[in-house]
A and B are shown apart, each in its own frame.
Chain A
Amino acid sequence: MSHSRNLALSIKAPISFPEIGVAGKTGSWRLEKPIVDNEKCVRCFLCEIYCPVNVVRVDREEGVSIDYEYCKGCGICANVCPHDAITMVEEG
């Protein structure tokens, strides 16, 4: 959260504005990395919907892509995938 980009306020209010990466490069927190097998993927979008940090995108043609710069490796995407198309692999 960033409190710096305040409106032109006469006071200090506890408000914040969403920005990409306000908590730093959270990808460095990852112990396990989600690896996608787009051959198995049926484009159901569940992984994109469930991702708590909004780093998963599903494209109808290309399949799933993950922004590893911010993915924390929580594994929820792998857990919700109904076709086991996502595997959690230990970071090297």
Chain B
Amino acid sequence: MSKPRALYREKVTLTGNHAVALAVKLARVDLVSAYPITPQTSIVEKLSEYIEGGELKAQMVRVESEHSALAVAYGAALAGARVFTATSSHGLLYMHEWVHWFSRARVPGVMAVVTRTIGAPWNIWPDHSDFMDQRDTGWIMAFARDNQEVLDLTIQAFKVSEDERVFLPFMVGLEGFILGHTAMPVEVPAEDDVAEWLGERKQPYVVDGSFPLGVGGLTWPMETEEMFIDLHKSLRRAGLVFEEVDKEYGKLFGRSYGGPLECYRCTDAKYYFVTMGAWSGDAMDAVDFLRERGFALGLVRIRLYRPFPYDRIADIMGNARGVIVFDRSISFGASGPIYSDVVASLLKARFRGDAIGIIAGVGGVDVTSHDFSKIAERVLETIERGEPLPAIAWYHGGELAIVQH
């Protein structure tokens, strides 16, 4: 597929969840394991419709828990199947053991995480707490901001995951309801083109009975550590592969997203928003508003969260006057997880500006472009007055409360 093909641009209106399901169908997976949980359920419901209608020739395995959902996906993937599952919140926590095992066994596979707040109390609204809870699992973790990106990212996830330089599972994040249940027009590539581009399933080893092979047996510390060093290197390499795949996809299907980061109005910016997920769109509208008010503001959106793009962040924002990092989850007792990674990146660039971490939208609280503008005005005016900023502030009920100096 060296020359760009005539683009097939069927445009259909899809919810984010149905965009995931359609991408999984286009990727021609062999197996879907499913256990329902709000707000993910409509993904596997749609996939079961595809399978029942003969549009997707895959096996649907219904299991009794999320723990088993990922275990089944793992088993099938070991045996050579292209696999997919999806979950949210407590379901993801329940399968957490398998999330680690999957990546440490170096098995390619794709899972959609339709984010939802962790309880107690029960809450079905979206924040990033469940997604961020998987931060240290060794999965490739990326997050979309609209339904088109959900579809494109899910397709690309299979390509990156099965790349021989990577061989790690891929987690696609999208907020429940905000993307999951929101309908938007989505351009859909032709299934044959997607299938041809993805090619045959690739994985490092196959357990298919052709020769005896043990997976994950007791291993000495030195050898274990060597495997984890290799996993880490592979995950870092996944950043380059992610970027390469994004470019290649752009040439073939007409859409690229800028690799690990999307930059909005960054060229002459002195101040930056850092965001991840759907609210980045609302924040971009706020950037436009604040530009009109004379603030040289840009926005950096994290698309790829693991591996974290430290160098890119340092290159773009190393000389910034101010950086405002928005986290939709909190590492209780510390900061938002994105904030700590961004600050680590800036440290390397000998950053001399001000940085603040804003916690917002936790528990599914709606955050609009008006909220972003309000927060930014207060922070930017503080910086321009030369006054010190707190490290972390929590935005709640229209107010910024300092939680850490």
A binding-site residues for B, Cβ under 8 Å: 1, 3, 7, 9-18
Contacts and interface: CB of A to CB of B under 8 A. Distances in A.
Contacts of B212: 17-18
Interface of B: 104-106, 164-165, 167, 204-205, 211-219, 223-224, 226-227, 230-231, 234
Contacts, number: 57
A81 B219 CA distance: 34
B164 A14 contact: no
A1 B217 contact: yes
Given A13-B227, A14-B227, 16 more contacts: A3-B223, A7-B204, A7-B205, A11-B106, A12-B106, A12-B226, A12-B230, A13-B204, A13-B205, A14-B104, A14-B105, A14-B216, A15-B213, A15-B215, A17-B211, A17-B214
A14 B219 contact: yes
Contacts of B204: 7, 9-11, 13
3 tightest Cβ-Cβ pairs between the two chains A and B = A12-B230, A16-B214, A13-B106
A1 B214 contact: yes
Contacts of A1: 214, 217-219
B167 A11 contact: yes
Nearest to B78: A15
B219 A3 contact: yes
A62 to B, nearest CB: 28
B220 to A, nearest CB: 9
Q: Pick from A1, A9, A13 the residue with the most CB of B within 10 Å.
A: A13
Contacts of B231: 11-12
A15 to B, nearest CB: 5
B374 to A, nearest CB: 48
A54 B213 CA distance: 17
Q: Pick from B205, B211, B216 the residue with the most CB of A within 10 Å.
A: B205
A33 B185 CA distance: 75
Contacts of B211: 17
A51 to B, nearest CB: 18
A7 B205 CA distance: 8
A11 B165 CA distance: 7
A11 B104 CA distance: 11
B234 A11 contact: yes
A7 B167 CA distance: 14
Given A7-B204, A9-B205, A15 B214 contact: yes
Contacts of B164: 10-11
A3 B214 CA distance: 10
Contacts of A11: 106, 164, 167, 204, 230-231, 234
B107 to A, nearest CB: 9
Nearest to A10: B164
Contacts of A12: 106, 226-227, 230-231
A1 B218 CA distance: 8
A17 B205 CA distance: 12
Contacts of A7: 204-205
Contacts of A16: 213-215, 217, 219
A13 B214 contact: no
A10 B211 CA distance: 20
A66 B239 CA distance: 55
A18 B211 CA distance: 10
Contacts of A9: 204-205
Contacts of B234: 11
Q: Pick from B104, B218, B223, B224 the residue with the most CB of A within 10 Å.
A: B223
A17 B213 contact: yes
30 contacts: A1-B217, A1-B219, A3-B219, A7-B204, A9-B204, A10-B164, A10-B165, A11-B167, A11-B230, A11-B231, A11-B234, A12-B106, A12-B226, A12-B231, A13-B105, A13-B204, A13-B205, A13-B227, A14-B104, A14-B106, A15-B214, A15-B215, A15-B216, A16-B213, A16-B215, A16-B217, A16-B219, A17-B214, A18-B212, A18-B214
